[in-house]
Amino acid sequence: MKRHLAWRASLVGVAALLSFLYILPSIPGFSPLPAWWRYVRPLIFAPPPEPISLGLDLQGGMHLVLEVDVEKAVEIAVERRVAEIQGAVEEEGISVARLERRGTRQIFLEITEEKARGAVERILGNYPEMARSEEGRTQFLLTLSGREVAVIQEQAVEQNVEKIRNRVDEFGVREPLIQRQGDRRIVVQLPGIKDPERAIKLIGKTALLEFKLVDERSRDRNIVEEALKGKVPEGAEILYEKVLDPQGRVVDRIPYLLEKKTVLTGDVLTSARVQFDPDTNEPVVAFALDRAGARIFGDVTGKNVGRRLAIVLDGNVYSAPVIQNRISGGRGQITGRFTPDGARDLAIVLRAGALPAPVDVIANLTVGPSLGQDSIRAGVQASIVAGILVVSVMTFYYRLAGVVANLALLLNLVMMLGILAGIQATLTLPGIAGIALTIGLAVDSNVLIFERIREELRLGKTVRSAIDTGYSKAWVTIIDSHITALITAMALFLFGSGPIRGFAVTLGIGILINLFTATVGTRVVFDWMTLRGMKRLSI
């Protein structure tokens, strides 16, 4: 028996010590861990301890519901096909009278010579997902199929979830929740966010980067003025550069007459990072292009030396520097009177990539840190009051055995928090409710065991025999109740979401720990007492 007691006591001691070590960073004054931790670290085959993550309801933050503009995603996909067809007919030398998108799902193509019809049909044959109809010998109308529309919309939502997750990860938010909701909505929860407006801008920015040449006709001031009045020359468009004051407010807008054709997009970016201009000491975003992008960029800049190349992000001109010479190597920089945070956010969205479809914020709930602190304070107060009551009742009713049960409850709580820190789970208010329910189950288990022991003692059995029989008789009932609760927790985890899952996680972990502390932890103490020669049990 001594040998069994030794390994069970060792098991309880190691579990308690490990749990305590993992709780340490969450205790004020112990983060980062003390210097002696480096001697313990090699003994632990698990991730180093981190402070317990608090959920949105405990530390404050943002809850956003975004809606993806899936129709815009379809429109962008059709526009991309228009550009592809444009490139293909130019490559074939086919003269085109008109090539344009109609609505969000159709493309209209009109060629000038009927003899090119065969070549056009070959090109359009590369788009089987678009139903073709003819409006004449030289006119073609392509319509995107319903199945392809559904695929594009589905992919747009999934890709938006992934892009937003990448941006949030790079932003440095810990334990964010980003998940799809329904056909076109995305739920984003960002615990601990201190600047909600900045976060919304970072997440909601489409980040479509384009390089466009400034139209040569803009040298004529009259043409620009006419364009500003609505008479934009064919093949051109008016976009603006925002002029910001030191506080980041828009104080002016500079119009640019740009060629409508995009010479390069941000798809070819391989990196983007913040640098400081050595001349102005202002932050700029330096970027690098992949091999194909670098080749196109070199060709464009080489053919247009002396012209201005506008860098456009989401329809806004950031800068339009004059091309001094051919830029080879695929490297450049974006200037735009950035603040350091603005430059960093732009670099993040460029690295994460453009959203395939814009998103609208349809719900924005900001939970202040004071509300989270109030929740924590109320939870701690309730736990202390409940703990004092439970400890008092158990000690008063079961005396020494009650003290043992209280130690088991403390061990239960320490192991629970240690495991939550170890698996880096997020603690939320529903999670605290799960812990409270677990403590109730732990008390109930000890009561079951102690009442069986009492019955055996009344029958005149020895302490050793009463303890053995009491644990044996209570075992079946404890297992039955815990398995039932565990199945409930598993069902909540599988079919629930968000806070319900948090509740299920703490409840499930707590049930397993309770089984250990109630049947092993307290038993170790009682066995040790009987081995020390205890003849009468205070229970």
Summarize pLDDT for 338-356 with one digit per residue, the tens: 777 778 887 887 777 778 7
Q: What single-letter DSSP state applies at residue 427?
A: E
Per-residue model confidence (pLDDT) at position 246: 66
Q: Which residue has the higher pLDDT, 29 or 412?
A: 412
Per-residue model confidence (pLDDT) at position 371: 56
Q: Which residue has the higher pLDDT, 306 or 56?
A: 306
| CB hemisphere CA count around 129 (13 angstroms) | 13
Per-residue model confidence (pLDDT) at position 493: 85
**SS in 3 state form for 270-296?**
EEEEEEECCCCCCEEEEEEECHHHHHH
- pTM for the model stands at 0.63
pLDDT at 370 over 60: no
Per-residue model confidence (pLDDT) at position 9: 87
> pLDDT by residue (tens digit) across 136-195?
778 889 999 989 899 999 988 988 888 888 888 877 776 678 888 888 899 888 887 777
Which residues are paired to 213 by β-bridges?
309
Q: Which residue has the higher pLDDT, 277 or 367?
A: 277
- Residue 360 pLDDT level (bands cut at 50, 70, 90): confident
Per-residue model confidence (pLDDT) at position 382: 76
Q: At what angle do helices 146-171 and 340-352 cross, to 10 degrees?
A: 140
Taking a C-beta distance cutoff of 8 angstroms, is the pair 282, 337 a contact?
yes
Per-residue model confidence (pLDDT) at position 37: 65
> pLDDT by residue (tens digit) across 35-55?
666 666 666 656 667 777 777
**Between the CA of residue 405 and those of 8, 19, 108, what are the distances in Å?**
17, 19, 80
- Residue 535 pLDDT level (bands cut at 50, 70, 90): confident
pLDDT at 114 over 70: yes
CA 130 to chain centre: 36
Average pLDDT, the chain: 82
Per-residue model confidence (pLDDT) at position 372: 59
pLDDT at 375 over 70: no
| CB hemisphere CA count around 379 (13 angstroms) | 18
- Residue 285 pLDDT level (bands cut at 50, 70, 90): confident
> pLDDT by residue (tens digit) across 66-75?
999 988 888 8
Q: Which parts of 353-462 fold into alpha helices (H)?
A: 369-422, 429-458
| CB hemisphere CA count around 173 (13 angstroms) | 30
CA 308 to chain centre: 39
> pLDDT by residue (tens digit) across 415-442?
988 888 888 777 877 888 888 888 888 8
Q: Which parts of 93-195 fold into alpha helices (H)?
A: 117-124, 146-171
Per-residue model confidence (pLDDT) at position 1: 58
pLDDT at 466 over 70: yes
Per-residue model confidence (pLDDT) at position 247: 65
> pLDDT by residue (tens digit) across 299-329?
888 888 888 888 888 888 888 888 888 888 7
- Residue 359 pLDDT level (bands cut at 50, 70, 90): confident
Q: Which residue has the higher pLDDT, 239 or 279?
A: 239
Per-residue model confidence (pLDDT) at position 43: 63
> Residues of the chain with pLDDT > 90: what percent?
3
Element (H, E) at 473: helix 463-495
